[in-house]
């Protein structure tokens, strides 16, 4: 797998530009990651109080990315209740616009994943737009949609923004895959990593990349906690 050298994502607004390769240490970047997630967690209820920054997303063909994507109703369980619709949306999008799904976990109200784009292709946004649209069409319990959302062709199930981190190297990839697989335990959705059904962890076990009891031993859990 190849990774980009010295990529930069520019933050336009109050936050300074953040380097994803030769800039701040990973822990500092993770602090911003948690800060961004905190904004996502409260975006719906505090939209009037929090002005979200604008992003100029990196256009880098063949790159590998970590994503966090959330639904608007952070108290619901729409994604796991309609997991078949979500799987169909991913499968159809991968058929139309291929990408290599390295790891994924689906929680009730958000998902994390890592995917690798094909050489010469840098279009993450269109893929997410298609996944969101296909899932929304397959779900019958749609909330009321405001005029502004209709004008933007959004159905109101998903939060408009998503977190996108460009993977820098194999070590960065391993840390994010660990984060993905341990996420259900972190959020209290399951007692062990293996207990959560909606995770690529089970594929990693079948392929012999991880033991069945991964996350129950001290080393990987401690490594993840050090990042938070």
pLDDT band at 7 (very low <50, low <70, confident <90, very high): very low
What is the token pair recorded at 10?
A: 């520019």
Check whether 10 has a pLDDT greater than 60.
no
Pick the CATH number of 61-227 from 3.30.70.1290, 3.40.395.10, 2.60.120.1270, 3.40.30.10: 3.30.70.1290
* Stronger pLDDT, 194 or 34, i.e. the higher one: 194
Residues designated catalytic: 198
pTM beyond 0.85: the answer is no
pLDDT band at 26 (very low <50, low <70, confident <90, very high): very low
pLDDT of residue 20: 31
pLDDT of residue 57: 58
Torsion of CA 80, 100, 56, 137, to 10 degrees: -40
Instruction: Over range 37-42, report the average pLDDT.
Output: 36
Whole-angstrom Cα distance, residue 139 to residue 142? 7
Contact criterion met (CB below 8 Å) for 63 and 4: yes
Check whether 28 has a pLDDT greater than 90.
no
206 burial via Cβ count (<10 Å: 0-12, 13-18, 19+): exposed
Residue 146: CA count within 13 A, CB half-sphere? 3
Check whether 165 has a pLDDT greater than 60.
yes
Report, in angstroms and rounded to the nearest whole number, the Rg of the chain calculated over CA atoms: 17
Check whether 148 has a pLDDT greater than 60.
no
Summarize pLDDT for 49-103 with one digit per residue, the tens. 334 455 455 668 899 999 999 999 888 899 999 999 999 999 999 999 999 999 9
pLDDT of residue 27: 36
pLDDT band at 216 (very low <50, low <70, confident <90, very high): confident
pLDDT of residue 31: 39
Instruction: Over range 208-225, report the average pLDDT.
Output: 73
pLDDT of residue 52: 41
SS (HEC) of the chain:
CCCCCCCEEEEECCCCCEECCCCCCHHHHHHHHHHHHHHHHHCCCCCCCCCCCEEECCCCCCCEEEEEEEECCCCCCHHHHCHHHHHHHHHHHHHHCCCEEEEEEECCCEEEEEEECCCCCCCHHHHHHHHHHHHHHHCCCCCCCCHHHHHCCCCCCECCCCEEEECCCHHHHHHHHHHHHHHHHHCCCCCCHHHCCCECHHHHHHCCCCCCCCCCCHHHHHHHHHHC
Check whether 120 has a pLDDT greater than 60.
yes
pLDDT band at 212 (very low <50, low <70, confident <90, very high): very high
Least confident of 77-91, 126-140, 147-161, 187-201: 147-161
């Amino acid at each position: 797998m190849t990774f980009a050298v010295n990529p930069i994502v520019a933050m336009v607004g109050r936050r300074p530009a953040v380097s994803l390769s030769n800039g701040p240490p990973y822990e500092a970047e993770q602090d911003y990651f948690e800060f961004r997630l905190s904004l996502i967690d409260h975006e719906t209820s505090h939209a009037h109080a929090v002005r979200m920054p604008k992003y100029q997303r990196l256009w880098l063909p063949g790159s590998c990315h970590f994503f966090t994507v959330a639904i608007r109703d952070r108290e619901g369980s729409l994604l796991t209740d309609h997991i078949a619709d979500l799987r169909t949306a991913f499968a159809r999008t991968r058929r139309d616009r291929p990408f290599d799904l390295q790891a994924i976990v689906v929680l009730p109200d958000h998902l994390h994943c890592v995917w690798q784009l094909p050489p010469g292709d840098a279009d993450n946004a269109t893929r997410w737009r298609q996944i969101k649209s296909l899932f929304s069409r397959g779900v019958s319990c749609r909330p009321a949609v405001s005029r502004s959302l209709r004008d933007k062709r959004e159905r109101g199930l998903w939060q408009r923004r998503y977190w996108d981190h460009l993977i820098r190297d194999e070590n960065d990839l391993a840390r994010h895959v660990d984060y993905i697989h341990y996420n259900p335990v972190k959020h209290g959705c399951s007692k062990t990593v293996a207990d959560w059904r909606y995770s690529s962890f089970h594929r990693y076990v079948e392929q012999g990349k991880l033991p069945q009891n991964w996350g129950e031993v001290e080393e990987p859990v401690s490594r993840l906690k050090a990042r938070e």
